[in-house]
Structure 1
Amino acid sequence: MGLTVKDVIQLPIMETSKVKCGKKLVNDKKVDWISVIEVPVENFVRKNELVLSTGIGCEDDPILLEQFVKDVIDSGASVLAFATGRYIYDIPERVVQLAEHYEFIIIEIPWEVRFGDILHTVFQEINKDKRWERQQAEGVRQELINCVLQEKGLQDISNILYKHINIPIVITDLLGEPRANCHFNKKMLNILNEEEDGQLQQIPPSGLLPEHPLSHYLDEYMIDHEMCFRLTISSNHRKQGYLIFQPNDRQDLTWFVMNVLEHALTACALYFVKENAIEMTEVRLKDNFILNLTKSSTEVTTQLISKGQLLGYDLTRPYICIVGEFQEQDLFEKKIKGSKDSPASSSLQSMNYYLQKEITSAGKLLHRRTMATFEEGEVIVFLEADHKPYMETANQFLDVIERRLKDLLTNVNLSWGIATHKDGHYAFYDSYHEAKTALDIGIQENGVGSRTFFSDTRINRLLMTLSQKKEIEEIVTDTIQPLIDYDKKRKTDLIYTFMIYNKYKGNVSQTARALNLHRQSLLHRLRNIESLTQLSLVDSDDLFLLELSVRLWMLKKNME
């Protein structure tokens, strides 16, 4: 494949020509272009070019002729052909030795052979060869597209590539995980992904096949002294993965190979688009199913169980319900997308999709089924339960997820509410609302980043119920309003002082140390509390009334 110097010298127009040096190279040297060049060469000669020259201007200057030949060699040309008999009668021995030193081909052409005839004939052969390459590349393109249309995978695409270009190749996702591999060195991929130690160096653009549009998108690397190239697979201006290949030599990257690689990028992009569309559709179906279970008071019937099985869910199993709330979502999404050109609407690059993957991975690690969905900053997870205490199981699961999230982004805080499995026809609906209640109470009591179990919220739930009664609200107001007014007027904090005092069960010394107060100052505050509320801090009934009033007031304040 490709026109060689041997093909050129076997043309009828070249039958009277003579190879002066480099006969052993004629089979390997390619001819992609042909031109007529005289002194000076400058930048008019391209790589793999057949250069025709009369040597005009050098006929009386062997040094200038030698420099002219050296310039042609340095340009990357394949062969230099001199027309002898007018300006140059014999090619000097020094020039021949120079060409042999650089393993370069020089041809001698009789003056009678017209350059125009040579140009016409060689151009026809080059065009014929290019046309054949284009036909071959078009056949490969059709084969690759059919591969995608026939529901075949990335491994099939890589197999077709390797069959036609015979270069080791690997296709990875955006994170560098291999999705298909044909004889590509796994260690090199690990070094490229910085998962294994080794020498990794990115090479500046070399101008390889500059006329081919794909050459501008090639990333070149040296990995443990071996050459490697990478192309980015993109669709809709969003990165999908990488196509990485390892030729033995840069000369292997011919126009045909580059065209095939360009078609392969298109096929891979189509595959990823199709895969993403299928996955997004599946995610939406699962999201809607779980949201319907939790938010719509849906009865778990035989029909619903069958529908769940179609989505891969077993509703006959017991599940712990975990409800999470996350903050700083915009920062998280920016980190996961990794680039400004990723559309914000992309579910595959959103925080929800990413967290879904982490939940699935954690479930697999612990050998437990999971069901999860997201809605407006809230994540709902159903984790398979067993005979073990539900608190132990949930903590183990959340530890795995949070450890991974903290490695990725420290600016995201998640708060969790957890409820055990509920029996009955509305098990999922009931357990969700219990977990949601635990989440709300946990945030009110402990702020963001808390982990609260529904079974630990009995006092809080009792207080919430009491706070809704009008008579109780009036008693609370009458009891602590004097303290509120006093704190506001005097810029003090008697309510907080009482909370700490009550926490240490009336121990004055411990309370003073916790508040960083002198003992007499604390006693003065406590006397103020008794005077303002008309309650005694040594009377158990008065103490209970004051504690209950403060807790109900704090609960109402946090809910506002």
Structure 2
Amino acid sequence: MGVAVEEILKLPVLEQAKVQTKLFERQVEWISVIETPVENFVRNNEFVLSTGVGCANDVLALEEYVEDVIRSEASVLAFATGRHIYKIPDRIVQVAEENNLVVMEIPWEIRFGDILQEVLRLISEEKRQEQQRTEEIRQELINCVLNGKGLQEITAIIYNNTGIPAAISDHNKQIRANQHFNRYLIDVLNGNDSTEEATLLETDLDSDHPLCHFIETYGIGDERCYQLTILSNYKKQGYLLFQPGQEGELTWVNLHIIEHALTACALYFVKENAIEMTEIRLKDNFLLELAKRDMDMDRTLLSKAQLLGYDLEKPYICLVGHIRFVQPEDNLPSSTTHSVASSSMNSRNYYIQKEVTHAGDALNRRTMTTFDEGEVIVYLESDRPDYEETANQFLDLIERRLHELLKGITISWGISCHKGGYKVFHKSYEEAGTALKIGQQHEEGERTFFSDTRMNRLLMALSHEEEIGVIVRDTLEKLIEYDQKRQTELIHTFMVYNKYNSNVSQAARALNLHRQSLLHRLRNIEHLTGLSLLDADDLFLLELSVRLWLLKKVEK
């Protein structure tokens, strides 16, 4: 952005100047004195002063000189008349008008130095005003964010000060603000319209502004639009889209405004992320305290929950899940699938949280979720007494989508809906945790309901008796040592054998063993324990001892 020719002509030093062409709407960004040859000494939008020396009485030489000035895209050519040139020929005026070059005559007695001084002062004043204006806009944009306003206000400031339509999207390309930007172009850019395709073009903006190096240019049919990536701490936060009506609208001043808007957008997203993270931490701490402490459900606690968006007046199922990775990264089938093992815990938790919310919405039930040391704790609104069916529907929805998004993740679940139903968050968490521990004896990925664990809980109570602990140790000590030293699975073999009611053929198939190999293992078990697998009392003692030992392992 420079000074309009009309403004320069109002300077007292140019009162006697005579414009020989039409007064075209041109801007002047610099002024210089140039004689022939011009070569590359004149730049775009320059005010050129000349005496015409070397062109006196040679119209062709003068015309060639003027054409060189035109090719340099200067705005004004002023000749000092009265010494070398007395009058600008009509053919020169015609050539200048055809190329939108303002040509004027200045009396010889006016010093070029005086003209240079006044024009440069005017240009400097214009630049100072431009800098002051862009600084005011920069401050307005920053204050817009600091005062709690949003992205829509940022796009409004861009449009009001530049006249350029603008839009802002987040990193998921969801439009968060739009100020007269063509919605169809946004849909094409985001791949939401299959009738057209956006083509990334080489940016050819006629500007040396530093911001141009970061602008992406997209062609959509006959339209062009521009995109800047919003970054904060080298992390992509979103995109700033803008579409000038004409390329000339992307002046230095307008590019400065867009640059300041980009900074304001980054600040906004940082602030938004900080608020979101603070809210997440508050919710996490609240739910962990609710689960792990037996708290009085007084008015203060209920009000605090309400502020965080929770309603504790409803009955809830408690689900405690243990998260585990079971598939190595190099076995992933698709580049679109996320490797849990290589992703951060925050990223993993984000996907789990997202699917919990999605499943709750699908079942039209409230959910409350938090994470703690490899566990996910979920409270799901329930309709007792059919809580088991509700929990299974809920987990089916979560696991089906999670296994598509995160290959290699397995979650074992413990589930409880305490008999009290209402306001028993700590008790239901303890019950769900107990059910999870018991379920982990068998297989990863199991769902264990607390109501189905009566036998195991009875055994857990027995396992704490000192005398019973001695009996278990005496019964299994040699068997455990043998398994550890030789890396065998005699205890597992016994559990499978017992599961199939001492049917050797079925147990051998389940263990993928030859019948004789299984019989050999069973004889080893009898030898190491001194018990007979054909004696009902011995069989019961061995089974009870193994189950109590496994429960102890889980508790540790």
- TM-score interval for Structure 1 and Structure 2 normalised by the shorter chain: 0.7 to 0.9
How far apart in 2 are the matches of 1:319 and 1:400? 18
Alpha carbons of 1:439 and 1:5: their partners in 2 closer, same or farther (altered >3 Å)?
farther
Q: 1:316 offset after TM fit, Å?
A: 1.1
Q: Match of 2:32, as an amino acid?
A: S
Alpha carbons of 1:222 and 1:466: their partners in 2 closer, same or farther (altered >3 Å)?
farther
Q: 2:243 aligns with which of 238, 241, 246?
A: 246
Aligned to 1:256: 253
Report the more deviating stretch, 212-221 or 314-323: 212-221
What is the aligned length?
A: 537
Q: 1:508 aligns with which of 501, 504, 508?
A: 504
How far apart in 2 are the matches of 1:62 and 1:445? 103
Cα pair 2:20 2:93 within 8 Å, conserved: no
Cα pair 1:62 1:92 within 8 Å, conserved: no
Aligned to 1:200: 198
Alpha carbons of 1:149 and 1:488: their partners in 2 closer, same or farther (altered >3 Å)?
closer
How far apart in 2 are the matches of 1:437 and 1:105? 88
In angstroms, what is the RMSD of aligned CA positions? 4.3
How far apart in 2 are the matches of 1:365 and 1:56? 85
Q: 1:305 aligns with which of 296, 299, 302?
A: 302
Q: Gaps spanning 5+ residues in structure 1: where?
A: 339-343
How far apart in 1 are the matches of 2:37 and 2:322? 73
Q: 2:463 aligns with which of 454, 463, 467?
A: 467
Aligned to 1:370: 367
Question: Where does 1:222-241 land on structure 2 (aligned, <5 Å)?
Answer: 222-234=219-231, 239-241=236-238
How far apart in 2 are the matches of 1:555 and 1:60? 113
Cα pair 2:315 2:423 within 8 Å, conserved: no
Q: 1:431 offset after TM fit, Å?
A: 0.8
Q: Match of 2:449, as an amino acid?
A: F
Q: 1:455 aligns with which of 441, 451, 476?
A: 451
Question: Where does 1:136-535 land on structure 2 (aligned, <5 Å)?
Answer: 136-148=133-145, 150-197=147-194, 198-206=196-204, 208-210=206-208, 212-234=209-231, 239-326=236-323, 356=353, 359-387=356-384, 389-402=386-399, 405-406=402-403, 408-410=405-407, 413-423=410-420, 427-447=424-444, 449-487=445-483, 492-535=488-531
Aligned to 1:556: 552
Cα pair 1:422 1:430 within 8 Å, conserved: no
How far apart in 2 are the matches of 1:45 and 1:400? 70
Q: Match of 1:129, as an amino acid?
A: E
How far apart in 2 are the matches of 1:276 and 1:109? 62
Give the 3-state SS of the residue equivalent to 1:261 in structure 2: helix
Alpha carbons of 1:116 and 1:407: their partners in 2 closer, same or farther (altered >3 Å)?
farther
Identity %: 56
Q: Match of 1:199, as an amino acid?
A: E
Does residue 107 of structure 1 match 2:103?
yes
Cα pair 1:300 1:425 within 8 Å, conserved: no
Report the more deviating stretch, 74-83 or 545-554: 74-83
TM-score using structure 1 length:
0.79
Deviations 1:205-244 (A, max 9, x none): 546542x454444333334442222334455665543322
Deviations 1:236-273 (A, max 9, x none): 66554332211112211223323333443444444444
Question: Where does 1:59-138 land on structure 2 (aligned, <5 Å)?
Answer: 77-78=74-75, 86=84, 100=98, 103-105=99-101, 107=103, 109=105, 112=108, 114-138=111-135
Q: Match of 1:162, as an amino acid?
A: Y
Cα pair 1:9 1:15 within 8 Å, conserved: no
How far apart in 2 are the matches of 1:243 and 1:401? 35
Aligned to 1:544: 540
Q: 1:317 offset after TM fit, Å?
A: 0.4
Aligned to 1:341: none
Alpha carbons of 1:152 and 1:557: their partners in 2 closer, same or farther (altered >3 Å)?
closer
Cα pair 2:37 2:65 within 8 Å, conserved: yes
Q: 1:181 offset after TM fit, Å?
A: 1.3
How far apart in 2 are the matches of 1:204 and 1:513? 66
How far apart in 2 are the matches of 1:94 and 1:466? 112
TM-score using structure 2 length:
0.79
Q: Gaps spanning 5+ residues in structure 2: where?
A: 330-334, 339-343
Report the more deviating stretch, 480-489 or 462-471: 480-489
Give the 3-state SS of the residue equivalent to 2:407 in structure 1: coil
How far apart in 1 are the matches of 2:481 and 2:122? 100
Report the more deviating stretch, 58-67 or 408-417: 58-67
How far apart in 1 are the matches of 2:442 and 2:227? 52
